[in-house]
Structures are given as C-alpha cells and as structure tokens.
Amino acid sequence: MGIRLGEPRMPALLTGHGRPGFYLRVLQEGEVGAGDPITLVHRDPAGLTVRRVSQLLYTAARDAASLRAALAVPALSEGWKESFRQLLAAGVRPGNAGLAPQAASEPAYPGFRRFAVTRVVRESARVVSVHLDPGDGGAVSSWLPGQYVPVRLVDADGPVVRSYSLSTPTGPRMRISVKREGRGSGLVHALRVGAAVEVAAPRGGFGFDPSAAEPAVLVSAGIGVTPLLSCLLAQAATRPERRIVWVHVARSPAEHSLAAEADAALARMPAAVRHLRYTAADAATRGDAAGRLTLEALADLGVDAAFSAYVCGPDGFAAGVRGMLDALGLPATAVHVESFGSAAAGGTAGRSAHPPSRSAHPPSPPAAGGPPVTFARAGVTTGFDPSRWGNLLELAEACDVPVRWSCRTGVCHSCETSLVDGAVDYEPEPLEPPGGELVLVCCARPTAAVTLDL
C-alpha cells in the first residue's frame, strides 16, 4: 500500500486511523460485485467491531476485559487468538507481546556490564571456554538454555562486538566456548584470567523447554554444539528421563569440543541416545557411524513426527538437517534452528528470516561518518550516514545483515530487535512503541553509537 501510493507511512496511517481493511472468510461460494447490498444477519453478542479488534492488537488502546471478550469470539481465527493470549499473559509489560512474543522478553539489564575472566579452559584444537564473573561483585543474571551474550572487546583497531552462545544452562558463572576464526574470536582466545570483558545480558535462544513431554532431537555441527550442550545439561539436571536423541557432527576427535561433558550428561539420561559422526576421511570410522549425517540415520534413531528438534551449525548444515526433519514429518513449528551468523565466529547465532544471499559486510562505498552502528551477530560496524539510509533497516540491508521485516512503517513489530546499547529516535513514530530495550529498526535512526542484536 505504501509503495503503491508513494506514501511509506500509509500502512501506519490506515491502522492508526482505525480503517485497516480486513479479509472475509468464504463460508458459501458465489458471485460478489460492486453495488451488492450487505445485510447484517448476525451480530456477535460481545459487540466487538473489526476496528476494535484491530486496535486491540496494533495499538496500546487495550485492556484485559476487551482481550478476553475477543478471545471468546468464535469467528476469530486461531492466529489472532494466540496474539491476544500472548498479550494477556504479558500483562502490563511494555512492547507488543501479541505481535512479537519472543522478542518482547526483556534482557536482564541494559547495555554492557563489566565481567572478569575467572577461568580459561582449552576444549579442543581451536576452541576455548572462558568463564566470566561480574566484575562489580553483583550477582550474575540467570539465562535460558540456548541463549547467547553479546561480548565487547577492544584491540588497537577499536571495539569489536560479537555474540557467543552460553555453553552452560546455569551459573554461578557464565561460560562461553569460542572457536578461533577471526578478529573477535582471536581476542577471546587471547583472554587470560583476570582480564576484563564487557558483556551484555543474555538473550535469544531456541525456546528449549526441559519440562516438555515430547521427545527431542538435538542436532549440532562443529562449534554449533555450544547452545545445544546447554540444553542437554539443563535436561539432564531437571528431567533426565526424557527421550533425547543427541546428534553431533565434527571433523575429527581433535576438533570435537565439549565431548566428555556431553557424554557425562547422556550417561545420566536412561532414555537418551548418542549419534556421533566425524567427517574427516582418517577419522570417519571413529564415530558412531561413518561420514556425514543422513536422513536414514535419523530415521533409524527413531526420530519421527512426534519429536521437537533443535539444530545449530553452519547454514548449509542447518538447511540440510531441516530438510531431513521435514521429510521425517516434523511440523515446521517443532523445528528450532540457530544458524551461525555471517561472521561464523563460533557459537554465533543468526536469524533465519530474509537471509541475505551473501555474507554480511560493511556498506559499499564505506559510510563517511555518522553514529557508529554495530550489528553484533553479523560482526559488522559502520557509520550511519542519514543522507544514504533512512533507517537502521535500510542500513542492515545495505550490509546484507539478516533481518526480519514486513510493514516497514512501525505497525507490525516484525523488525523488533534487541537494542544492546545506544539510543535511537523514530521517524515515523511506531503505532505502539516496542518494549524497554527493543527497537523497531524499520523506522529508527541512531542518535548515538548503537549496538543491535542482529
């Protein structure tokens, strides 16, 4: 609508003025034309109008009684009802849990906090684990299995921000396990006990629930094991009897990180099975099966449509596994994938929607000034030049940084992103502001240096 009318704010104007338009479900087929009369045959007893239902979802003009009334309307689709359930569950929390239920969970603290390195452990030829305690003596915030933290380090060329999965499910201290692959991970590998590191609050993750009843398959490749090990350890600690299929692919035993820890957890889980594969030619026979993972192997392990699946690894691997799970009948909603970000710095989580055709990169030509913007997952920092980009979404696209979007005018919250650090203003103003440490990148411009969880 905005593109056709040459007015980018049109979706926001339509929705904001209470005339959003709507689709009708066809109950009985027939011919409909302009000028046909419309006859009211039934009015819902709750008296909710289309305008009011739209308002309830897209604006802050809502209350619990109206949400409950909307939930009781039989004609309302399950999608709308689920949004209203999320809004009711979220209570008065800022942001729109109906449109962005996962992103609307707030991080434990804003910006970065100083941590100290308390232990460094070499896990394999190219992976180290770094244990971190809050440097201010405060308590470490809790996190969920599979979540990651943005980490800010500094070298002679300036600050570097990267996101790394937490490889344990609980404290007392955080642990990141990082493969050496580039500038950011090189700085992590150079850390020694006592060094200071800036760490933002845990965020993201698969939504892995150790209390869930259905069987689960956890599939990882390489350093993608880190978030899944956290899930496995949480499962072993809380409900070890759950049926878990643990699948891991590494190049060789020398590059197989955190193996002993995973095996110890699996040994405490009577219904769990392990399936390990090494892909290097001289190590292929040392796993539980030789060579690359196959659909037949997953089927032989008993993985079927009743399972939920959690997958982390390089993009090609994750896409292949997703295809196998689809072939085994798992519904898309049961498959949770974290692929490495374009920096591929190890344990780095990326988004799967609107994936770019190539790796993230600084804009071309380079930005000439403007507030620095860091895309933490993609590992890209660049200036925001307002003469070239109208908002942070356009800058992300210029850098091929994966990002979700739909309306591009602050209505749908599809582009809601965690603001790790910094400040923005909006043009146009979103219909409903995002929650505390979140930003709608489609209509936001930085007013200072910002770090985004993208």
The yes or no reply on residue 188 touching ligand FES (CB under 6 A) is no
The yes or no reply on residue 59 touching ligand FES (CB under 6 A) is no
Residue from 335, 442, 450, 454 in contact with ligand FES (CB under 6 A): 442
- Cβ proximity to ligand FES: between 171 and 356 the closer is 356
Residue from 378, 415, 438, 450 in contact with ligand FES (CB under 6 A): 415
d(CA 261, CA 281): 25
Contact 129, 175 (CB under 8 A): yes
DSSP 95: S
Q: Could you tell me which of 257, 198, 252 has the C-alpha nearest to residue 226?
A: 257
The yes or no reply on residue 426 touching ligand FES (CB under 6 A) is no
DSSP 182: S
The yes or no reply on residue 396 touching ligand FES (CB under 6 A) is no
Least CB distance to ligand FES at residue 22 (A): 18
Report the site for ligand FES in 135-154 (rule: CB under 6 A).
none
d(CA 144, CA 338): 15
Q: Which residue is nearest to ligand FES (CB)?
A: 442
Residue from 385, 405, 428, 449 in contact with ligand FES (CB under 6 A): 405
With tokens 């895309």, the residue in question is 375
Our CA dihedral for 129, 130, 133, 139, rounded to 10 degrees, sits at -40
SS3 content of the chain, % helix, strand, coil (to 5): 25, 25, 50
Least CB distance to ligand FES at residue 404 (A): 8
d(CA 171, CA 82): 33
d(CA 83, CA 81): 5
- Cβ proximity to ligand FES: between 70 and 407 the closer is 407
**Span of 15-23, 394-402, 410-418, 445-453 interacting with ligand FES by CB under 6 A:** 410-418
**Span of 48-56, 270-278, 324-332, 406-414 interacting with ligand FES by CB under 6 A:** 406-414
Q: Give the CA distances from residue 356 to residues 137, 188, 352, 378, in Å, rounded to whole numbers and listed in that order.
A: 41, 27, 9, 11
**Size of site (CB under 6 A) for ligand FES:** 12
Least CB distance to ligand FES at residue 335 (A): 24
Contact partners, residue 6, CB within 8 Å, separation at least 6:
none
Residue from 62, 175, 242, 413 in contact with ligand FES (CB under 6 A): 413
The yes or no reply on residue 412 touching ligand FES (CB under 6 A) is yes
The yes or no reply on residue 424 touching ligand FES (CB under 6 A) is no
The yes or no reply on residue 403 touching ligand FES (CB under 6 A) is no
Contact 360, 382 (CB under 8 A): no
Least CB distance to ligand FES at residue 439 (A): 10
Residue from 235, 348, 414, 417 in contact with ligand FES (CB under 6 A): 414
Q: What is the DSSP string of 104-139?
A: TSPPSSSSEEEEEEEEEEEEETTEEEEEEEETTS-P
Query: How far from chain centre, in Å, is Cα 166?
Result: 14
What's the per-residue H, E or C state across 26-42?
A: CCCCCCCCCCCCCCCCC
Least CB distance to ligand FES at residue 10 (A): 13
Least CB distance to ligand FES at residue 440 (A): 5
- Cβ proximity to ligand FES: between 359 and 406 the closer is 406
Least CB distance to ligand FES at residue 171 (A): 35
Residues that bind ligand FES (CB under 6 A): 405-408, 410-415, 440, 442
